[in-house]
Structure 1
Amino acid sequence: MATITRVELQMVDLIPKVKRVDAIQSFVSQETPFVTIYDSDGAVGRGYSYTIGTGGPSVMALLRHSLAPALIGRDPDRIEGIWRDLLFMTHATAVGAITSLALAAIDTALWDMRCRKAGLPLWKAAGGSRAHVPLYTTEGGWLHLETAALVDDAVEMQARGFRGSKIKIGCDHISEDAARLAAVRAAVGDGYEIMTDANQGFTLSEAIRRAQLLQEHGVGWFEEPLPGDDVGAHVELSRHCTVPIAVGESLYSVSQFKDYLQSGAASIVQVDVARIGGITPWLKVAHMAEAFNVMVCPHFLMELHLSLVCAVPNAKWLEYIPQLESITTEPMRIEDGYAVPSNAPGLGIHWDSAGISEKSLFSEIVTEGS
């Protein structure tokens, strides 16, 4: 039986190529923790997660002082057991973002190792439901952009074969959101999907008010209309809104998704592999959503989510927000607006190891006794 002998920890801060502003924040950097796991047979697996500009050092501290040392000597094939043990080991800080992000970096590394050993790409090892998935873009729909820029980007992406665009909403007055949506709809026509995202910026009354506007423009979904921890408010909103309610990027446990699904508070699940704690719980949420006949459309991390949405049968879209070009050797494959997962064994991400090391703000190796 192979055992884990060494864990390498690194963190890179990736600066977005474009300005990203939504209703509550500006996305100025992506602190990206990496975990690389080595076993006694010489196998290697690399995983990662992310923060939006803050919290990265706290994630690295939890990995260094608690989680990475607990991996030494473990059987890397027992992914479910390791994930559960690490969760209970950190029960005083779970459920929460820092713990989930740390667990995700480890869990994705273990899945990468498993797939490499098996000679399988993740999208097949985790289910193999489909060989490609349609893309929608968020990168040209940020809240600070002028209406003309929103229109230009949507038209360009439509010409490239993309099937939809996400427009950030939450302008000071509903009329401003209305004008932006109307302009994009007029430019792309009825056959192109428009999603909207409020980034938790509304009160219940304002979300109910703006729901009517979204219905008028045939919007595909109303994303994060309210604070993610208020399930009851989402239930009430769903009673007033025929547009599908999408939530998930601000939820950090399988049980939180269970509460939304059981109460009918969301009709689209946007589970984020980093914020839920890894591939292991991501698949649980996706299959649970399938049991409720609910679609999965994950948040961010397109390079990793590509394999996962192709693994399960109830994932319709992949969100296009590029962020890893500076630390990968090959881009995500796109054909006529569809993302195509890699058939290489592992996560399907072609890392530039030298580039990661060069850009790393934190680097440490954990071994037995260290």
Structure 2
Amino acid sequence: MAYTPDAIKTITLSSIRLPLAVPISDAKVFTGRQKPMTEVAMLFAEITTTEGHSGIGFSYSKRGGGPAQYAHAKEIAEAALGEDPNDIAKLYTKLLWAGASVGRSGLATQALAAIDVALYDLKAKRAELPLAKFLGSHRDSVRTYNTSGGFLNASIDEVKERASKSLEDGIGGIKIKVGLPDSAEDLRRVSAVREHIGDAPLMVDANQQWDRATALRMGRTLDELGLVWIEEPLDAYDVEGHARLTRTLDTPIATGEMLSSVAEHRALIDARACDIVQPDAPRVGGITQFMRLLTLADEAGLDIAPHFAMEIHLHLAACYPRETWVEHFDWLDPLFNERLETKDGRMIVPDRPGLGITLSDQARAWTVDTVTIG
């Protein structure tokens, strides 16, 4: 069958405020650098074409930045109108240049990520394939671990209870937050969870709040607990410090979630500043850039564990040549009509075309602003 030309007809952008049931605190709150998180600002892009195809994608911001992402996306989206939606790489470059005065990372990439993801969703749905199959998957399920139950605002008894529930629900590993000003309390919490879950996979995340000396001292102590990884022990941009920890400690080092460009990740990878790269598709510009990162990480022999946004990252992690982890967060569940399945420690790639998600009525109710371009 001959290819039928198609063109982007409309792009609908929506700013959605997702409220959290309780204020969430990680180490950045206890060190006084941030306030507790009460909501997640979501940016959704819904694309339609002249041939009747459609796609949906999203980006997000925790704490500040949501309104700015929405505003930037509104400014650049018109550049995609009339273009062939199949030319995703071309469109990524065009959109990036449309907003180039604010750079090629950070806000600029996070705003266009929602459009980029929507284009992949559209193209995979047009092919009637799940996104993972469309991209070329290596597996139909991915190891998964839970983070949302391990924040520092929860008591250790609450963390243990939630860990048990996660494991009972078929989630394979548990991650808890550390990085408190009192390192002894960190160790008490980690030891308590390790004892509680036995030999189940356990990860810790310091959210960038240790200095180099503390990270080394804590890392050496944590080496005795058989952790899967220590996440963000240092400032996200401290490549040299992360490289030193990676060489010194037995426990693997994981980082990268805060980086918002391929160039920033390349510096991390070239320096072998981690054992596990944690890219975030909405932060680096969408799937176009994420797939570039997968190639770089694979060539360097590194593992990956994408950050947040499991609805997107499950498909992308399934495309990596070696086994990966995907982060289970139930925060976004109210936004979608569908649910991802976990079983025997793994998250199952859905058989629905594209990302396999549709916006719920609740998501529409939480929409604070929307605009259709085209």
State whether TM-score is above 0.5.
yes
TM class by shorter chain equals: over 0.9
Displacement of 1:136 after TM fit? 0.8
- Given residue 246 of structure 2, which amino acid in structure 1 is its aligned partner? S
2:352 to 340, 344, 352: 344
Is 1:362–2:369 an aligned residue pair? yes
Aligned to 2:336: 328
Aligned to 2:7: 3
- Cα distance in 2 for residues equivalent to 1:153 and 1:174: 23
Provide the rounded CA distance (Å) in 2 between the counterparts of 1:290 and 1:256: 16
Match status 1:121 vs 2:130? yes
Tell me the secondary structure at the aligned position of residue 152 of structure 2.
coil
Q: Which residue of 2 aligns with 1:145?
A: 154
Task: Tell me the distance in 1 between the aligned counterparts of 2:365 and 2:19.
Answer: 15
Q: Secondary structure at the match of 2:109?
A: helix
Cα deviations by residue, 1:10-55 (Å, 9 ceiling, x for unpaired): 1111112344211114222111111111111111111111011321
2: CA distance, partners of 1:171 / 1:356 = 34
Residue type of the partner of 2:148?
E
AA partner of residue 98 (structure 1): L
Q: Which residue of 1 aligns with 2:229?
A: 221
Q: How many residues align?
A: 364
| 2:299 is the counterpart of 1:291 | yes
Matched, 1:36 2:46: yes
Q: In the TM superposition, what is the alpha-carbon distance from 1:158 to its structure 2 partner?
A: 2.6
Establish whether residue 179 from structure 1 lines up as the match of residue 188 from structure 2.
yes
Tell me the SS of whatever aligns to 2:60. coil
Name the structure 1 match of 2:144.
135
Cα distance in structure 2, aligned partners of 1:337 and 1:218: 18
1:127–1:312 Cα contact (<8 Å) kept:
no
Code of the residue aligned with 1:360 in structure 2: it is: T
- Name the SS of the counterpart of 2:27 in structure 1: coil
Could you tell me which amino acid in structure 1 is paired with residue 15 of structure 2? M
Question: Which residue does 1:50 correspond to in 2?
Answer: 60
Equivalent positions of 1:1-370 (< 5 A) are 1-24=5-28, 25=34, 26-65=36-75, 67-190=76-199, 192-352=200-360, 354-367=361-374
1:222-252 residue CA offsets vs partner (Å, 9 max, x unmatched): 1111111221221222233221111111111
Aligned residue identity for 2:232: E
Distance 2:218 2:362 in 1: 45
Q: 1:312 to 1:86 in 2, by over 3 A?
A: same
Q: Identity across aligned pairs (percent)?
A: 34
Distance in 2 separating the partners of 1:331 and 1:158 = 17
Counterpart-to-counterpart distance in 2, 1:104 and 1:324: 17
Tell me: CA distance 1:345–1:272, structure 2 relative to 1, closer, same or farther (3 Å): same
Question: Amino acid of the residue matched to residue 279 of structure 2?
Answer: V
Q: Take 1:226 and 1:91, find their aligned partners in 2: how far apart are those partners?
A: 30
Q: Relative to structure 2, which stretch is displaced further, 326-335 or 202-211?
A: 326-335
Deviation (angstroms), 1:7: 1.1
Matched-pair contact (CA < 8 Å) for 1:297–1:315: no
SS at match of 1:48: strand
Displacement of 1:285 in angstroms is 0.7
Q: Which whole-Å deviations, capped at 9, do the CAs of 1:191-216 have from their partners, x for residues lacking one?
A: x1110101111111111111112101
Which residue number corresponds to residue 31 of structure 2? none
* Structure 1, 205-214 or 10-19: larger mean CA deviation: 10-19
CA distance in structure 2 between the aligned counterparts of 1:301 and 1:2, rounded to whole angstroms: 29
SS in 2 for 1:58: helix
Local SS of the residue matching 2:210: coil
CA distance in 1, matches of 2:143, 2:124: 24
Displacement after TM superposition at 1:315 (Å):
4.3
- CA gap 1:323/1:147 in 2 versus in 1, 3 angstroms: closer
Shift of 1:219: 1.3
Q: What is the TM-score normalised by the length of structure 2? A: 0.93
SS in 2 for 1:129: coil
TM-score, normalised to structure 1, is 0.94
Distance verdict in 2 for CA 1:161–1:8, change over 3 Å = closer
Distance (Å, rounded) in 2 between the aligned partners of 1:18 and 1:338: 27
Q: Which runs of 5+ in 2 are unaligned?
A: 29-33
Deviation at 1:160, TM superposition (A): 3.1
Question: What is the RMSD computed on CA atoms of the aligned residues?
Answer: 1.5
Kindly state the Cα deviation for residue 278 of structure 1 after the two structures are TM-superposed: 0.2
Q: Is the 8 A contact 1:304 1:348 kept in 2?
A: no
| Partner Cα separation in structure 2 for residue 156 and residue 36 of structure 1 | 35
Contact 1:330/1:350 (<8 A) preserved: yes
Name whichever of 26-35 and 90-99 sits farther off. Answer: 90-99
Contact 1:307 1:348 (8 Å CA) reproduced: no
Deviates more, 1:81-90 or 1:55-64: 81-90
Q: Distance in 2 between matches of 1:161 and 1:106?
A: 32
Deviation at 1:305, TM superposition (A): 1.1
Query: What are the ranges of 5 or more consecutive residues in structure 1 without an aligned counterpart?
Result: none
Query: How many angstroms does 1:114 deviate by?
Result: 0.4
